[in-house]
Amino acid sequence: MVRIQKSKWKFLIRLAGTIFSIVLLIFLFSSVGTEELMSSLRKISSGTIFLIVALIFVSRLATFARWHTLLQIESVNVNWKDSLRLTFAGLFAANFLPTTIGGDVVRLAGAMRLGIGGSLAAASLMVDRLIGMAGMAIVAPLGLVPVLTNLNRFTNVSTQLLILQGGFFGNNKIVLKIRVMIKKVFASFSFWYHHPRFLLIALFFTFIHMLATFLIVYVLVVGMNDTITFWKIAGLWSLTYFITLIPISINGLGLQEVSFINLFTLFGGLSDSTGLSIALIMRVLMLLASVPGAFFVSSIISGDTYTKISEKNPLELED
């Protein structure tokens, strides 16, 4: 009963955060003006659209390759087609299905259908996320430099909200939860202690994913006749990524857009219309790239399209 109540509270907090972020986004939209926003969007050529669509799928395929690499340990030999199905199914679940389902839950269920032990499957997902975070953390200082040197420009109300959200971590209970999470993360690495090359390869694919994402923003900025350096895009996007991880919004909806707009306009020098346009386009691209996963969700539930792993993994923990 207590666990159900906590789950309801978490959902209500995320729902409230999502609604509040969307309201702020609508406020920013109204302050920029429809005509100015449409003017920015009309600057994007058909060639640019084709390029960014190609780049978003390169990004998604890189995330697939990262997780698939982590699953290739010892006698666990997962077919790449199955990994690809599970990755896109997870992306679809994360973007379209209720938050209680979640992309990782879908991938976990599918991995267990393949015959991978629950502990190894869960650990691979945890390490997959951790490597993604590590990649972003590497470039985060590039975003912190303009932020720290321009703190006096934090006058926007919605940006101040993002700072207040950081106070969330001052709560002792949250700090304890973070410590528990960190311990679990390090424990999950035990599967890969003797296979560091898999971690390095996975990190390489993370960089491919990041490069594609940063290039999308850069191409859009250039297409809208605005200016910002590639490295500043990398740093500010990484900060946007970490802010979106704050669990106060469903799938980061609204929170990602508001964070992007404020960081890239205040510290990246983009115009309000360009920042808003790109924030909305990035959300649409993520939704578009996850649509193929809709064809695989039902097969994960039934397990009909997967080939069971016959040989047991010697590293598997007892479930």
pLDDT in tens, 172-200: 565 566 566 566 656 656 667 667 888 89
Q: Give me Rg for the CA atoms of the chain.
A: 20
Please indicate, yes or no, if residue 311 is contained in any of the structural domains: no
Q: What is the pLDDT of residue 203?
A: 93
Segments forming the whole domain that contains residue 23: 2-302
* Per-residue model confidence (pLDDT) at position 318: 38
Does a structural domain hold residue 61?
yes
71-103 pLDDT tens trace: 887 556 778 888 888 888 888 888 776 554 567
**Out of 6-10, 88-92, 223-227, which region has the weakest mean confidence (pLDDT)?**
6-10
Q: pLDDT tier at 315 (50, 70, 90 boundaries)? A: very low
Write the burial class of residue 224 (CB in 10 Å: 0-12 exposed, 13-18 middle, 19+ buried): buried
43 within domain boundaries: yes
Inside any domain, residue 316? no
User: Domains in the chain: how many in total?
Assistant: 1
Q: Strand ranges (DSSP E) for the chain?
A: none
Q: What is the mean pLDDT of residues 271-284?
A: 87
Residue 242 within any structural domain of the chain: yes
- Is 312 within a domain? no
Local structure of residue 252 (DSSP, 8 states): G
Assigned domain for 133 exists: yes
Residue 62 has a pLDDT of 96
Confidence of residue 293 (pLDDT cuts 50, 70, 90): confident
Distance CA 206, CA 19 (A): 31
Cα distance between residue 56 and residue 282, in whole Å: 9
Select the more confidently predicted residue: 102 or 21.
102
pLDDT tens-place string over residues 120-178? 788 888 889 889 999 999 999 988 888 877 765 544 444 444 444 444 444 556 556 65
pTM of the model as a whole? 0.76
pLDDT category of residue 295 using cuts at 50, 70 and 90: confident
**Most confident residue range from 20-24, 231-235, 267-271:** 231-235
Residue 310 lies in a domain: no
- Mean pLDDT for the chain overall: 75
Tokens 């599970």 map to which residue? 86
CB 33 within 8 A of CB 180: no
Triad 91, 284, 124: Cα angle to 5°: 20
